[in-house]
């Protein structure tokens, strides 16, 4: 008898869901559940998807930007600065344009995106937290993959000056510099979690500071500020967004590795 692998996986998933439903509800989730249901009862889907996403986006963004901004006024933090600070005011003008003219219209389309794909809002349809966290990681892997190949393509000499050169006008990177796309196909909450997940990385790699006690460095294959800062300084190689595996696979980090070896050699002398 032929066994369908899809049926096996579906049955296993349903079995896990059934066992999970028999377990008592986590008491730590009760406040979250109450707050979520209160939000659903008092706000429309459009308000949740649009203004909720905007609030989460801006709060998380500027919260994680705050340390890098304060570091500029702390003399003892300057030893961790990779490059000298560039034209901060010009950078902020560009960032404001991106926020209000590019990211805001995309966020305003979130409601129509969720309606078109039938993405649920209710608590009962929300996947369990392990599944949500796994999906966030999956989103990070997918984003990093398309970012690498698209980013590398944008550096092609035939298209570079028309699109990506604007980003590289800032050879010294700062926090308010780069946006990201989100995925939320399972539940609308995934969008907020993915935004929260992507913000620290985006801000860290553009902070211009390489902080030793950085918890993000515990992530395997994590790129970090020094890796991406070399891309802005060198313009070639280090195309990865979050992870370094694609650059290692295609050897597009060779110049960075040579540069790092020379810097380490100077320190040892």
Which segment of 15-24, 128-137, 224-233 scores lowest on mean pLDDT?
A: 15-24
Distance spanning both ends of the chain, measured CA to CA: 70
pLDDT of amino acid 179: 37
User: Has residue 26 been placed in a domain?
Assistant: no
pLDDT of amino acid 196: 73
User: Has residue 77 been placed in a domain?
Assistant: no
Name the more confident of 174 and 136.
136
Q: 5: how many CB neighbours lie within 10 A of its CB?
A: 7
User: Has residue 62 been placed in a domain?
Assistant: yes
> What band does 46 get if pLDDT is binned at 50, 70 and 90?
very high
User: Has residue 3 been placed in a domain?
Assistant: no
pLDDT of 268 above 60: yes
> What band does 5 get if pLDDT is binned at 50, 70 and 90?
very low
List the domain range (segments joined by +) for residue 119.
39-71+82-268
Split into its structural domains, the chain has a count of 1
pTM for this entry: 0.72
> What band does 3 get if pLDDT is binned at 50, 70 and 90?
very low
| Structure tokens belonging to residue 35 | 């707050």
Three-state secondary structure readout of the chain: CCCCHHHHHHHHHHHHHHHHHHCCCCHHHHHHHHHHHHHHHHCCHHHHHHHHHHHHHHHHHHHHHHHHHHHCCCHHHHHHECCCCCCHHHHHHHHHHHHHHHHHHHHHCHHHHHHHHCCCCCCCCCCCHHHHHHHHHHHHHHHHHHHHHHHHHHCCCCCHHHCHHHHHHCCCCCCCCCCCCCCCCCCCHHHHHHHHHHHHHHHHHCCCECCCCCHHHHCCCECHHHHHHHHHHHCCCCCCCCECHHHHHCCCCHHHHHHHHHHHHHHHC
Q: How far apart are CA 148 and CA 155, in angstroms?
A: 11
pLDDT of 218 above 70: yes
User: Has residue 190 been placed in a domain?
Assistant: yes
User: Has residue 136 been placed in a domain?
Assistant: yes
Q: How far apart are CA 253 and CA 259, in angstroms?
A: 10
pLDDT of amino acid 252: 94
| Structure tokens belonging to residue 156 | 């092609």
Three-state secondary structure readout of 157-210: CCCHHHCHHHHHHCCCCCCCCCCCCCCCCCCCHHHHHHHHHHHHHHHHHCCCEC
Which segment of 35-39, 202-206, 228-232 scores lowest on mean pLDDT?
A: 202-206
How many residues belong to the chain?
269
Q: What is the overall mean pLDDT for the chain?
A: 77
Strand partners for 3: none
Instruction: Provide, rounded to the nearest whole percent, the portion of the chain with pLDDT above 90.
Output: 14
Q: pLDDT digits over 97-133, tens only?
A: 777 777 788 888 888 988 888 889 998 888 887 887 7
Packed helices 129-154 and 189-205: angle between N→C axes, nearest 10 degrees: 50
Q: pLDDT digits over 157-212, tens only?
A: 887 776 776 666 654 444 444 534 445 567 888 777 777 777 778 788 877 788 88
pLDDT of amino acid 75: 87
User: Has residue 29 been placed in a domain?
Assistant: no
């Amino acid at each position: 008898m032929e066994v369908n692998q899809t049926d096996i996986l579906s049955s296993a998933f349903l079995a896990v869901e059934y066992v999970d439903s028999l377990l008592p509800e986590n008491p730590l989730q009760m406040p979250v559940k109450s707050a979520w249901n209160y939000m659903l009862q008092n706000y429309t889907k459009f308000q949740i998807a649009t203004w909720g996403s905007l609030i989460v986006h801006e709060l998380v963004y500027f919260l994680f930007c705050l340390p890098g901004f304060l570091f500029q006024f702390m003399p003892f933090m300057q030893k961790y600065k990779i490059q000298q600070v560039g034209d901060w005011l010009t950078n902020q003008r560009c960032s404001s344009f991106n926020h209000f003219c590019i990211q805001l219209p995309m966020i305003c389309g979130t409601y129509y995106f969720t309606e078109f794909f039938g993405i649920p809002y209710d608590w009962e349809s929300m996947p369990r937290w392990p599944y949500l966290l796994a999906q966030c990681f999956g989103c990070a892997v997918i984003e990093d993959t398309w970012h690498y190949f698209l980013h590398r393509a944008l550096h092609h000499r035939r298209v570079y000056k028309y699109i990506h050169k604007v980003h590289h006008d800032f050879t010294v990177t700062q926090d308010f510099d780069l946006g990201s796309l989100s995925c939320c196909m399972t539940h609308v909450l995934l969008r907020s979690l993915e935004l929260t997940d992507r913000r620290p990385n985006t801000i860290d790699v553009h902070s211009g500071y390489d902080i030793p006690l950085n918890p993000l460095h515990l992530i395997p294959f994590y790129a970090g500020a020094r890796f991406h800062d070399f891309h802005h300084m060198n313009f070639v190689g280090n195309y990865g967004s979050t992870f370094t595996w694609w650059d290692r696979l295609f050897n597009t980090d060779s110049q960075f590795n040579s540069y790092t070896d020379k810097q380490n050699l100077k320190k040892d002398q």
